[in-house]
Amino acid sequence: MARCRVCQQETLEKFLSLGPTPLANRFLKREQLEESEPSFPLDVYFCHTCGLVQLVDVVPAEVLFHDYPYLTGVSSPMRTHFAALAEDVAQEYHVGPGSLVVDIGSNDGTLLSGFRRFGPKTLGVEPAANVAAMANAAGIQTINQFFGPALAEEIARTRGPAQVVLATNVFAHVHDLDRFLQAVSVMLVAEGVLVIEVPYLVDMLNNTEFDTIYHEHLSYFAVRPMVALFSRFGMGIIDLTRQRVHGGSIRVAVQKSRAPQTPVVAQILNEEAERGLDSMRIYRDFAERVRMIGQELVDLLRSLRARGMRTVGYGAPAKGNTLLNFCKVGPDLLEYLVDATPAKQGRFSPGMHVPVVPDTRFQADRPDYALLLAWNYADEILRKEAAYRERGGKFITPFPRPAIL
Ligand code: TYD
Ligand code: ZN
């Protein structure tokens, strides 16, 4: 029996199985279409002891983050979001010349670039070679390695300890959380702060955003298991805010030295308990809605196709591949996916093999319906594609229920 990633107890219960699923960011070249594609179970568990929702089938990080297509800077809402995060953190924690800010999983350097005007030294840590090279080329100093204790010691020794360590959209990717926190601790000054941003379980449940489940995301965090985890390291949450990005996230500031529990943490722990996060019922209900949404989406796409409508997907996010594979939506139901990311264009979506094309094709082509696979950027995309809608084109959103906008 598998052990829980946070509390190490054998108290996991499965509540959802999305079936054997290929890797969500493994977009295929044409010549790879005939090759067999690796797929792995995508089963989700709840821990009865600490409350962590998690996967237990762990795909090695070296496989997931070797050659990585995702670029933060491609999506303008993320650029805006991270610029605001940098400003907030710089002001709140007095980042200035003489400080060191380290970003773990720094991707193309979008977040660190927001610290420039405050004058600290910055350092990115990014395991994907192609992405780290882009950041370095843009002048954001980035170490192309997986983060761990040895690298943390080296950073502390050669560049001095950090005042702030950032971990946005990476904490859920970490299998060995203890090792990760130990390494962060090695690198931080005594009064230093670790700022984590991670999709929030409550938002995922509220909107049934099940497509955010894929192999890269090993944990689906509520605050309760986080508090338990940090306290084992003598760390404490000093600030916590909910954020709109990625379908709903939480930003958590964690102080290395133990801090008295802030009222906002006590309040959110209460809310989580009231919401029923401690018992299986909420997860069983979620799984039931997942099946319903999947069925409704396929029915909708089939009926549009039967009426001779042309349907495509808007965005080729990793999460879209969970949705397409779970619903078995292939090129017969979506002609292509449009995406602005160069490394995805000209490739085929993992599993269902839907071709990915540049977004300029969408504007020229004007299909009848576009399924918003990047539904988390709906506002931005609807604004950007206003001309498409003015000419009668329609968007479909999958969540909270499949609907034509
Ligand atoms: P995102 O939702 O950020 O992440 P994930 O891969 O973790 O699910 O991915 C959004 C995708 O949508 C990304 O490939 C970029 C693309 N995109 C566009 O093509 N056009 C746009 O206007 C926006 C905002 C995103
Ligand atoms: Zn647990």
39-58 tens-digit pLDDT: 999 999 999 999 999 999 99
Ligand 1 and 104: CB distance under 6 A: no
| Ligand closest to the CA atom of residue 372 | 1
Label residue 257 by pLDDT band (50, 70, 90): confident
State the virtual CA torsion across 291, 337, 80, 67 in degrees, nearest 10: 90
* Nearest CA, atom 24, ligand 1: 75
Label residue 77 by pLDDT band (50, 70, 90): very high
Query: Which one of 25, 27, 72, 74 would you pick to mutate in the ligand 1 pocket, going by the greatest count of ligand atoms within 8 A of its CB?
Result: 74
Closest CA to 71 of 143, 147, 138: 138
Mean pLDDT of 130-150: 98
Rounded to 5 degrees, φ, ψ at 313 are -110, 140
Label residue 259 by pLDDT band (50, 70, 90): confident
**Is pLDDT of 270 > 80?**
yes
Mean pLDDT of 76-89: 98
Distance CA 78, CA 63 (A): 25
Q: What pLDDT, in 10s, does the model give residues 271-288?
A: 999 999 999 999 999 999
Q: Output the pLDDT for position 256.
A: 87
Mean pLDDT of 338-359: 97
The count of residues in the chain is: 405
Q: Output the pLDDT for position 292.
A: 98
Q: What pLDDT, in 10s, does the model give residues 160-195?
A: 899 999 999 999 999 999 999 999 999 999 999 999
**Is pLDDT of 78 > 90?**
yes
Assess contact for 111 and 86: CB atoms under 8 A.
yes
Q: What pLDDT, in 10s, does the model give residues 201-218?
A: 999 999 999 999 999 999
Q: Which atom of ligand 1 is nearest to the CA of 74?
A: 15
Q: Output the pLDDT for position 96.
A: 97
Q: Output the pLDDT for position 261.
A: 79
Task: Report the percentage of the chain scoring pLDDT > 70.
Answer: 100
* Nearest CA, atom 11, ligand 1: 317
153 Cβ neighbours under 8 A, 6+ residues apart: 186, 187
Ligand 1 and 79: CB distance under 6 A: no
Q: Output the pLDDT for position 29.
A: 98
Residue 153 falls in which region: left (phi positive, over 0), alpha (psi -120 to 50) or beta: alpha
Q: Which atom of ligand 1 is nearest to the CA of 340?
A: 19
Distance CA 350, CA 325 (A): 8
